[in-house]
Amino acid sequence: MARKFLVGGNWKMNGSVKLAETIVNALNQGKWSPNVEVVIAPPFPYLQLVRNTLRKDVGVSAQNCYTESKGAYTGEVSTEMLKDLSIGWVILGHSERRMIFGESDEFVGKKVHAAVKAGLSVIACVGEQDAEREAGQTTAVVFRQIKAIADQLAPADWANVVIAYEPVWAIGTGKVATPQQAQEVHNELRGWLAKNVSQEVADATRILYGGSVSAKSAPDLQQEQDIDGFLVGGASLKDQEFLQIISSRQ
């Protein structure tokens, strides 16, 4: 089954009105293969500006949301608010949320459930830390993380979930996983879905790679069978490089 290649740009806590305008203009004028879907994830304050000015065939994503639809949760943003702004996507379980803000596997699973139930599409992140890879625990860690998500979902919910495999040691370090390293884990994750959810879900679910993706590394990475796209951090803030990454796939 053909899975449409997806390139996501996660700005993290970076950007400004000016940068948002620059990236929107570049994407609005950009040309790429119809076989590639593009989603960008600016910080909350820029979501509306970006959604209102960006071409409609490019998705806009939040970088987080809460499990509840409204209430006394100071500082949080609900799925309903995202929908109110016509934001169709949310990134959940990013390693920075897990490590800096202490989000547990279970909490990430609950957020994914809440977002899918609200009708949002989710990019759900998993990935091991350096020491875990060194200790031979990569598979155990990503299986534990994906299980906590799957535990909250019905098989049909997977139609709106994309997995992003982001080894923590490769994020923002310039130390990109080799295509073989990434392919190996993507294949394990797909196998996990086949065994624990269904073969159909395993075949249809897109698994993105994230971690120091650049215009240089993208062409080789995208050739791997189980790499269905990228979640790009730093390079998504550079409009021309981001366009080059999108165009690495035909």
Ligand X SMILES: O=C[C@H](O)COP(=O)(O)O
**How many of the chain's residues bind ligand X (CB under 6 A)?**
14
232 contacts ligand X (rule: CB under 6 A): yes
**How far is the C-alpha of 117 from the C-alpha of 114, rounded, in Å?**
5
Q: What is the dihedral of CA 226, 151, 146, 128, to 10 degrees?
A: 180
94 is catalytic: yes
**Beta-carbon count within 10 A of 182 CB:** 28
The interface with ligand X within residues 128-157 (CB under 6 A) comprises: none
Strand residue runs (E) in the chain: 5-10, 36-41, 58-62, 89-92, 121-126, 161-165, 207-210, 229-232
**How far is the C-alpha of 182 from the C-alpha of 180, rounded, in Å?**
5
Residue number of the CB atom closest to ligand X? 233
Q: What is the dihedral of CA 110, 86, 227, 151, to 10 degrees?
A: 20
Tokens representing 244 are 């080059």
Contact mark string toward ligand X, 53..92, x via CB under 6 A? ----------------------------------------
Q: Which is nearer to ligand X, 26 or 194 (CB)?
A: 26
**How far is the C-alpha of 236 from the C-alpha of 228, rounded, in Å?**
17
Q: Compute the least distance from the CB of residue 103 to ligand X, in Å.
A: 14
234 contacts ligand X (rule: CB under 6 A): yes
Of 166, 186, 224, 241, which one is the catalytic site residue?
166
List 38, 206, 233, 243, residue binding ligand X (CB under 6 A): 233
**How far is the C-alpha of 235 from the C-alpha of 4, rounded, in Å?**
21
Tokens representing 220 are 């080789």
Q: Which is nearer to ligand X, 109 or 211 (CB)?
A: 211
Tokens representing 7 are 């390139």
Contact mark string toward ligand X, 2..31, x via CB under 6 A? --------x---------------------
Of 37, 94, 113, 241, which one is the catalytic site residue?
94
Q: Compute the least distance from the CB of residue 173 to ligand X, in Å.
A: 7
Contact mark string toward ligand X, 200..219, x via CB under 6 A? ----------xxxx------
The residues near 193 (Cβ < 8 Å, ≥ 6 apart) are 146, 150, 158, 201, 202, 205
Contact mark string toward ligand X, 172..191, x via CB under 6 A? x-------------------
Tell me which residues touch ligand X (CB under 6 A): 10, 94, 166, 171-172, 210-213, 231-235
Active site residues: 94, 166
